[in-house]
Amino acid sequence: MLVTAGFPAMAGGTPASGSASSTSSTASKSSASKKKKLKECKGAVFDPITDPDWNDMLPITIAGIPLGGNHDPPLMYEPPVCVCPGAFGIPSYGIGITYWQPTYISEVEKIAGCSSSLGGSMLLKGYGKLNSGEAFYPYVTGAGRNSRLQLHWYDYPLFSMLQMFTNLGCKDGGGFNLAYVSEIDPTWQNDIWAGIFSPESSLFASLPAQFACIVDSVGAIAGYPVDPLFWCAGTWGGIYPMSGNAAQSTTVFQINNLVLAKFLARQARLGLAFETIGPLALCNSVPNPIWLKSQWRVDEVWPVVRRGAPLVIGAPPILQWPPFFTNPPGEDSTVNLMFEGQQCCMRSY
């Protein structure tokens, strides 16, 4: 077979040489195309008017009377008439209000340093070794293996930026700010280093603990994630380890949101995300090292702009439009606008 393959070259030389050159050229183009596709940073500039699903801010409850559709989690309750510590320790009475505030933007990125919410701009260069080489789709070989994704977190208090609810003294102030980039955080890249923040993670590696996540999955599908099962993120998977690595890879929607859930749990553990709903947060937000899944709503704004029922932690998009839909092929990053539940006691002093 080797002799036969080499015979034309001995007779004329040109055909074999041309064939080899053509094959080499094709392989080179294919390799260049793959590299270009891997390094391509995609996105769209976030539009604060048309991109958010404003249905996620409802209901607004004033003095126990809900306005608008949707439902609040059981923990989210403010008495119609509330009392909080006032000046000089004098009790201060007010009117109880609950609502949902768009407060943050998260980017889960396959390309390290890429900012999809800023139109596909490269914020950081020189971090190419942190790019995720994982293909997320179930029909691609190796999609069940480990994925590592990068996450960017922006402060984006949309109500304040749009001058909405100006008389609501409890809303978050400030403006747009890049609060976190995972590329420069070594504990995000390594499961062992991430274990510093979660030494209890080995306790939840058992089968009974994992089977308990089925309950959380059912609750999330119904719109009520089970907060006591804090090691679970519903149908998205488990939050340990609290790093950018995740193994339960079936669709882009699932794996990207699982990485987001890991980050939210990690932020609570570090005291950087406070508990904003529940009996401890009647007057002020309080730190809690165990995250409350039910205080978050996830609104995907790119590459799929979703509409419909609020998406809670761990839920599949079955009540949203488009339903049962993950990212289009080739769009492996996700931008989410995060709505955070708020309890407020509006007081005169």
pLDDT score, position 13: 45
pLDDT score, position 62: 93
Which contiguous run of DSSP H or E holds residue 3? helix 2-11
Q: Which two tokens stand for residue 174?
A: 């400030």
Number of Cβ within 10 Å of residue 133's Cβ equals 10
pLDDT score, position 159: 87
Distance of CA 231 to the CA centre of its chain: 16
- 294 CB-near residues (< 8 Å, 6+ apart): 73, 74, 75, 76, 224, 225, 227, 277, 312, 313, 341
Positions in the chain whose pLDDT score sits under 50: 1-24, 26-38, 135-137, 139-140, 142-144
pLDDT score, position 144: 46
pLDDT score, position 97: 94
pLDDT score, position 205: 84
**Could you write out the DSSP letters of every residue in 187-235?**
HHH-HHHHTTT-GGGGGG-SHHHHHHHHHHHHHHHTT---TT-TTB-GG
Which contiguous run of DSSP H or E holds residue 22? helix 14-39
State in Å, rounded, how far the first CA of the chain is from the last one. Answer: 93
Do the beta carbons of residue 314 and residue 225 sit within 8 Å? yes
pLDDT score, position 145: 55
Give residue-wise pLDDT tens across range 288-336: 999 999 999 999 999 999 999 999 999 999 989 888 778 888 888 999 9
Q: Which two tokens stand for residue 69?
A: 């559709």
Number of Cβ within 10 Å of residue 286's Cβ equals 12
Give the residue among 246, 216, 249 at the shortest CA–CA distance from 231: 216
Helix axes 14-39, 2-11, angle to 10 degrees: 110
